[in-house]
A and B are shown apart, each in its own frame.
Chain A
């Protein structure tokens, strides 16, 4: 009887099904036919066999061990990989605690201009020689990076708020019907826009490689922020005798949806995110009560972080890729045109005019204030672009009219 026949005979007693993966691996490591069954018959678990196979224990060693030889000990090769060792990150600011910025020391702080690894490898760990391509498409620091994401991530976590308990819902008082309807229509639009922006940005996360994990972390806070804005606005619409009105216009959002690259997406969102930040910074002028003032202030604080990112990212991008400067005009023009179209919709402008004026009967005064607000929004947008070292050529004609008004 050959060895393999003997081993197979012993294995007859085993009731354990052996995965094909294990058989294939055993064959690759030159385990004798039936050696797995022998191990099982000697009381070893399938898991132990699997660990031996995954640990690349060859057939000869396995056979010796099962014949009563010495225990196969792992060599713990992973303890000796040549990564930087001895790192002691410490908080630079005790108030903020141990931040991700504190980790960017030694080689762990090297954020390369181009990230070459297509896997999910953590920056600074020791790479496998062969990896599957995980499908990332963004490998250039220039298109995605802004230094501010590092502190802003931790600030976003520190400044988180909870719509259900941080806003004093019980304080809401009945408003005149036209004003309540105006609040609710604004909330409907903004809830739509917030949800959409969260879904949109979420979809871009899997495109960003691990070399720039700080950007992914920061965008995760943005996604979580807009989720909160979406539900806070919805709660406001449904808590004071109103309801949801007409969905938001789709022209601007479709422009964002149509973006084919991250720089295009960021340029398009720059337009809306700047305009919305100015709107919410003016929250006191549209708020009808303290709850709304608080809500708009919190939303503005969140959105300021996003705008800081937009400005710094664009500035960095234009510095690193000056040949792409003119191209940005194309995306901004498209976004501005769509924004103008959304703003021209009476379902967008009239609720704001009623809120700014203080009622339907004062809507003319409200329209004048809205014109002022629009002027401020456009001016701030132009200023934000300039902060990003971008001097807009061919600003949308309607925007120019607003600035001149």
Chain B
């Protein structure tokens, strides 16, 4: 056995006899993905108890291994049934803000429209910055027994770095610059979470959901092909983060239904915080006004833009409610905060 006294020959070699079951995963249509190796005693279904040591699932425990501090011991604390697939998708769909955005196609825009776009980008670069810090904050607590969830979060950190940089690039390419810092964007609520599921429901489901709904209106917000592409590419990444959150919430509700009221409580707080904590609050006046200008197509079409902004909010809230329903929290519809409830379509 490992780290045993050395044998007479000066060798130990007991590690050669630790297991007999041969694992021979074969590549599938998408190559050799985590799904193909998620088998037998190495699979998530065979997850053992966490031991706070970063021992990868399926590896044999080392006598004398030191603990590294608290990590989540229960699978339901961090797991999402789609994290295996989402991580592989993330690796396949990485993109480069430097080379995949047709920067040279950006056209000179009317000054107030350029300023509106730059203000939106200033806010988004802040939002995406925090969206990278937040999973980082939780990574040390994700047990290697659930390493696929950890790998997914690491891919999210990469995604958010790219989003932070792409919006900064956009603001500084077209004759503009960064404008006013957001105030009260609610981003701190994401860092204030004291539990992984609390964080996930606030960041992945609510905040990134709102951002995703906005990015999917990028065809209306973006004034140029390059802008529209930025939103499309970013939305593609946000879809994964959101999908992780929805399925994590579902997993928790399926396996620990007693947490339902607790989860409602987090949402009660977040929805009570004005327009929803952590969403990169689009009701913050510079963001609201810049969105209205972009959606309308100019300052002179501000009122038209406001109407489209209200449609954006409606879309954000209804998609949010739908995602919660998918996760098994359909009763949220009856408990929405008033600033959300005003937009919900009747059943």
Give A contacts to B, CB under 8 Å.
Answer: 16-22, 45-48, 50-51, 54-56, 73-74, 76-79, 81, 83-91, 96-100, 103, 105, 108, 119-122, 124-128, 131-132, 134-135, 153-154, 157-158, 160, 162-165, 167, 169-170, 178, 181-182, 185, 188, 191-192, 195-196, 198-200, 202-206, 210, 213, 216-217, 220-221, 223-224, 226-228, 230-231, 234-235, 237-251, 253-254, 257, 345-347, 350-351, 360, 363
Contact B136–A247 (Cβ < 8 Å): no
Contact A54–B285 (Cβ < 8 Å): yes
Number of B residues contacting the other chain (C-beta, 8 Å)? Answer: 121
B66 to A, closest residue via Cβ: A250
Complex contacts, B144 vs chain A, CB 8 Å: 192, 195-196
Contact A350–B136 (Cβ < 8 Å): no
- Select the residue from A56, A125, A238 with max chain B CB neighbours within 10 A: A125
Complex contacts, A126 vs chain B, CB 8 Å: 178-181
Contact A195–B339 (Cβ < 8 Å): no
Within residues 82 to 121 of chain B, which ones have a CB less than 8 A from any CB in chain A? 87-88, 91-92, 94, 96-99, 101, 103, 112, 115, 119
Give B contacts to A, CB under 8 Å.
Answer: 2-4, 6, 11-13, 15-16, 18-19, 21-27, 30-34, 36-37, 39, 42, 53-56, 58-62, 65-66, 68-69, 87-88, 91-92, 94, 96-99, 101, 103, 112, 115, 119, 122, 125-126, 129-130, 132-137, 139-140, 142, 144, 147, 150-151, 153-155, 157-158, 160-162, 164-165, 168-169, 171-181, 183, 187-188, 191, 272-275, 283-286, 288-290, 299, 302, 306, 310, 313, 337-339, 341-343
Contact B283–A51 (Cβ < 8 Å): yes
CA distance A124 to B172 in the complex (A): 10
Contact A246–B25 (Cβ < 8 Å): no
B168 to A, closest residue via Cβ: A103
B62 to A, closest residue via Cβ: A247
CA distance A55 to B2 in the complex (A): 67
Partner pick for A97 among B21, B99, B139, B191, CB 8 A cutoff: B99
Contact B137–A203 (Cβ < 8 Å): yes
Partner pick for A244 among B30, B59, B155, B338, CB 8 A cutoff: B59
Contact B157–A205 (Cβ < 8 Å): yes
B142 to A, closest residue via Cβ: A199
Complex contacts, B142 vs chain A, CB 8 Å: 199
CA distance A251 to B126 in the complex (A): 38
Contact A191–B126 (Cβ < 8 Å): no
CA distance A200 to B147 in the complex (A): 14
CA distance A108 to B69 in the complex (A): 40
Complex contacts, A245 vs chain B, CB 8 Å: 15, 18-19, 59-60
Complex contacts, A241 vs chain B, CB 8 Å: 22-24
B174 to A, closest residue via Cβ: A88
Partner pick for A227 among B21, B59, B136, B151, CB 8 A cutoff: B151
Complex contacts, B135 vs chain A, CB 8 Å: 202
Contact A87–B96 (Cβ < 8 Å): no
Contact B24–A87 (Cβ < 8 Å): no
Contact B88–A16 (Cβ < 8 Å): no
CA distance A346 to B18 in the complex (A): 14
Complex contacts, B98 vs chain A, CB 8 Å: 91, 96-99, 154, 157-158
Contact A162–B158 (Cβ < 8 Å): no
A364 to chain B, nearest CB (A): 9
CA distance A73 to B153 in the complex (A): 43
CA distance A83 to B172 in the complex (A): 12
* Known A50-B275, A74-B285, A230-B151; contact A347-B37, beta-carbon cutoff 8 A: no
Complex contacts, B288 vs chain A, CB 8 Å: 51, 54-55
Contact A239–B32 (Cβ < 8 Å): yes
Beyond A127-B181, A244-B60, A363-B11, 12 additional contacts (C-beta under 8 Å) are A21-B272, A46-B338, A78-B119, A96-B99, A163-B91, A164-B34, A195-B56, A202-B153, A231-B87, A244-B56, A247-B53, A346-B13
Contact A217–B165 (Cβ < 8 Å): yes
Contact A234–B56 (Cβ < 8 Å): yes
CA distance A363 to B313 in the complex (A): 68
CA distance A157 to B98 in the complex (A): 9
Contact A203–B96 (Cβ < 8 Å): no
Partner pick for B157 among A167, A182, A223, CB 8 A cutoff: A223
Partner pick for B56 among A91, A192, A204, CB 8 A cutoff: A192
